[in-house]
Amino acid sequence: MFSNLIRRSARWLCSGLALTLAAHAQAGIVLNTTRVIYPATDKEISLQVHNTGAGEILAQSWLETDGENVSSDTPPFAITPALARMQSNARQLIRIIYSGEGLPADRESVLWLNVQEIPQTATENQLQIAIRQRIKLFFRPQGFTENPLEAAQALQWQLRDGQLEVSNPGPYHVSMIKLDVRQQGRVLIQQDSRMLAPRQRLRLPLKQTIKAGPVELAFISINDFGAQESYRANVLGDRTTKARKLESRPD
């Protein structure tokens, strides 16, 4: 009986702690975009941060490299203000300024923009958590002739040595979600997300041995505006194939 009481009390305490954490872990800051495109022709770009919470916060902003596109650990950008005090329901404009050098001129570079909420007030015995939002910043040099909205459609797919090979011939990054490859209903590849860098060639192993005939490829790409676009293709052998974009249908 005593052990049952202990177990019930432990469950009650865990439930209460979970509710407390959930209540205080809700982010008060909201960004007005899910990704940032920085054309090299612009002197600076900006985005807006909105404090939707009930209390005052500090909003701290900084950039990080992805370790591949930018050789230096210190991104060649300035962010202002890097630290901003925001009242409840206040909005703050964050400006990002490129130094003018340090990034490749023949392809797009990607960095991570971080915006962290730091609560300013707390009551006794209240757990506070600093919530951080992280979105991609794409720096786009000038002079490209390719259309960035057609980058996903330009991907080249083929089967080689029992693997699915995809090549990105263009200068833009291609972000994909829900990559699904099947043959006659059998699942060969399922991935939640994948980003292809410019000029990157990637081989994806198949879960099962393929049979004679094509495999059905489907994925969703995220465009410059954060919208989702669906693509389909039938890939047969080592023949290079490009996916076709499906037309969106109104609800």
Running DSSP on this structure, what letter comes out for residue 145?
-
- Distance, in Å, from the CA atom of 44 to the CA atom of 66, rounded to the nearest integer, reads 21
The answer to the question of residue 211 being in a domain is yes
Domain presence at residue 9: no
133-156 per-position pLDDT tens digit? 999 999 999 999 999 999 999 999
Asked if residue 107 belongs to a domain, the reply is: yes
Which percentage of the chain shows pLDDT scores above 70? 82
Last residue of a domain, one of 97, 119, 140: 140
Position 9 pLDDT exceeds 70: no
Choosing from 140, 175, 205, the residue where a domain stops is: 140
pLDDT of residue 27: 52
With a cut of 50, say whether residue 7 has pLDDT above it: no
Please tell me whether residues 121 and 171 are part of one structural domain: no
Q: What is the mean pLDDT of residues 95-99?
A: 97
6, part of any domain: no
In this structure, the answer to whether residues 158 and 226 fall within a common structural domain is yes
Would residue 44 count as lying in a domain? Answer: yes
Quick one: average pLDDT of 109-118? Answer: 95
The pLDDT of residue 130:
75
| CA atoms within a 13 Å half-sphere pointing along the CA-CB vector of 55 | 13
Q: What is the pLDDT of residue 6?
A: 38
In a domain, 249, yes or no: no
Q: How many domains does the chain have?
A: 2
Based on the fold, state whether residues 161 and 109 are members of the same structural domain.
no
Clarify whether residues 136 and 156 are in a common domain. no
**Cα dihedral sign, 31-37-42-44:** positive
Cα(78)–Cα(181) distance, integer angstroms: 42
Domain termination site, one of 140, 157, 191: 140
Q: Which domain holds residue 37?
A: 27-140
Residue pLDDT, tens place only, 12-25: 334 443 333 433 44
187-199: string of b/e by CB count within 10 Å (b at 16+)? ebbeeeebebbbe
Please report the pLDDT score of residue 124 as a whole number: 63
pTM, two decimal places: 0.82
Whether the CB-CB separation of 213 and 170 falls below 8 Å is answered with no
pLDDT digits (tens, 9 = 90+) for 177-227: 999 999 999 999 999 999 999 999 999 999 999 888 999 999 999 999 999
Alpha-carbon distances of 143 from 39, 97, 106, 222, rounded to whole Å:
10, 20, 9, 23
In a domain, 116, yes or no: yes
In a domain, 160, yes or no: yes
pLDDT in tens, 168-179: 999 999 999 999
Spatial separation of the C-alpha atoms in residues 209 and 188, rounded to whole Å: 8
One domain for residues 123 and 153: no
For residues 116 and 156, membership in a common domain is answered with: no
Per-residue model confidence (pLDDT) at position 121: 64
Contact 190, 115 (CB under 8 A): no
* Cβ atoms within 10 Å, residue 174: 23
- Given a contact cutoff of 8 angstroms between Cβ atoms, the answer to whether 36 and 225 are in contact is no
Tell me the pLDDT tens digit for each residue of 37-66: 999 999 999 999 999 988 899 999 999 987
CATH of the domain at 106: 2.60.40.10
Over residues 61-84, the mean pLDDT reads: 83
Q: Are residues 53 and 122 in the same domain?
A: yes
